[in-house]
Structure 1
Amino acid sequence: MVQTLNYLKESASQTAGPFVHIGLAPGDAGFDIYKTELGRDITGPNAQGERITVTGIVTDGTGAAIKDVLIEVWQANANGVYPGKGDVEDGFRGWGRVVPDFETGQFSFETVKPGSVQGHDARAMAPHLNLWLVARGINVGLNTRMYFGDEKTANAVDPVLNLIEQPHRRKTLIARADSNTYHFDICLQGDGETVFFDV
């Protein structure tokens, strides 16, 4: 007797869209569900340090703005301490959700500039923001960092930046500084693709 094996066919991959905003940032999608939208305030009202604005656009491989992306921001406070990892001022969150303008694709958020963080090996890391992106067509969230263009000395010795062998690729992680505003574009594919990390 010959046994016949039946194999299941591969199902379509699951992506994060097209309803990312409805589930993760409903207020931005026009749904008045929550009294307070989760993730709108990255630092909390009592955060000490230099107040900054971060702007940018997330683009696909053709250079078109991706308007349905959701970006989560994780950061240390001005003293380089993450919530839950040491003493932080009352109410410092260090986490938030950002979505772009649905018409232009530009995102913008306010926070405080983080301080230098100590890595697992006790080496200092340059001030940075940790970013996680999800959008339609992305099967697994993408992790990257944003470093500050006016921190050249710290950036030059940052252990994570120095893992990237090609200098032109390192530049994809450094935001352009203009006073207290930092511009940081994220490219998902193509020649200027942002460096993403396997976390």
Structure 2
Amino acid sequence: MTTLKQTPSQTVGPYFAYGLCPQQYNYDLKSLFTPTIAAPHAAGEHVLLVGRVFDGDGNVVSDAVLEFTQVDSAGRFPASRADIAQTGFTGFARVGTGTDAQHRFVVETVKPGRTAPDAAPHVNVTVMMRGILTHAFTRVYFDDEAAANAADPVLNAVPAERRATLVAKRETQPGGATIYRFDIRMQGPDETVFFDV
């Protein structure tokens, strides 16, 4: 039996960044999705979710693609295109890390509400990058939601010593936007928790 090497169709990226986020990379193609989940008129507390992706050697990954899915401030996903147009909330963003000078992802959104009484506000994240054979799934929780985080069944299923890898830190800029900082580490002692979904 002959052993063959993996083909591009069997690996994730790095070309996905260019194909899935062409406008961010200045290609003359329209992106289906942008880094903006919530338009300025969307209801809720407007925040920026900012971070970087680090590989197993601690290097910043400049060609990752991330997808973010979340509910609005009332805990609902958009029901239709008309709902999106009216509310200014899409519930979804896609961003490449190669368009920012510091190779960050920057997502414009609103802080999500709860999807259930025991569910803490969170954002679902899918990571695609070179060196991994399939995408990785993680979540972003918020450090100023301690009581909700303590009751969340998904977060509580994670060993206590690893939960911090899922929690974004709030930074308030004087006169500026509220930022939640969330770095994703693909491997190593501080590896972000990834979920098998």
TM-score band, normalised by shorter chain:
0.7 to 0.9
Given candidates 51, 58, 63, the residue that maps to 1:63 is: 58
- Which consecutive unaligned segments of at least 5 residues does structure 2 have? 173-177
Q: Comparing 15-24 with 188-197, which one deviates more in the overlay?
A: 15-24
Q: Which has the larger radius of gyration?
A: 1
Q: d(CA) in 2 for partners of 1:22 and 1:128?
A: 27
The equivalent residue for 2:168 is 175
RMSD between superposed Cα atoms in Å: 2.0
Q: d(CA) in 2 for partners of 1:168 and 1:62?
A: 22
How big is each residue's C-alpha offset from its partner over 1:5-50, in whole Å with a ceiling of 9 and x where there is no partner? xx4534416212121122100112221112xx32213134542100
Q: Is residue 95 of structure 1 aligned with residue 92 of structure 2?
A: yes
Name the aligned partner's letter for residue 94 of structure 1. G
Is the 2:14–2:64 contact (alpha carbons within 8 Å) kept by the matching residues of 1? no
Q: d(CA) in 1 for partners of 2:92 and 2:41?
A: 14
Q: d(CA) in 1 for partners of 2:74 and 2:2?
A: 53
TM-score after normalising by structure 1: 0.85
Per-residue deviation, 1:92? 2.5
TM-score after normalising by structure 2: 0.86
The equivalent residue for 1:133 is 127
Q: Is residue 20 of structure 1 aligned with residue 16 of structure 2?
A: yes
The equivalent residue for 1:186 is 184
Q: Is residue 145 of structure 1 aligned with residue 130 of structure 2?
A: no
Compare the two structures and name the one with the higher helix fraction.
Answer: 2
Q: d(CA) in 1 for partners of 2:162 and 2:4?
A: 35
How big is each residue's C-alpha offset from its partner over 1:41-90, in whole Å with a ceiling of 9 and x where there is no partner? 313454210000111110011110001001100000001112239x8864
The within-5 A match list for 1:7-86 is: 7-12=1-6, 14-34=10-30, 37-40=31-34, 41-44=36-39, 46-84=41-79
- Structure 1 outlier segments of 4+, above 4 Å: none
Name the aligned partner's letter for residue 99 of structure 1. G
- Which consecutive unaligned segments of at least 5 residues does structure 1 have? 1-6
Q: How many residues align?
A: 185
Q: Secondary structure at the match of 1:125?
A: coil
Q: Secondary structure at the match of 1:124?
A: coil
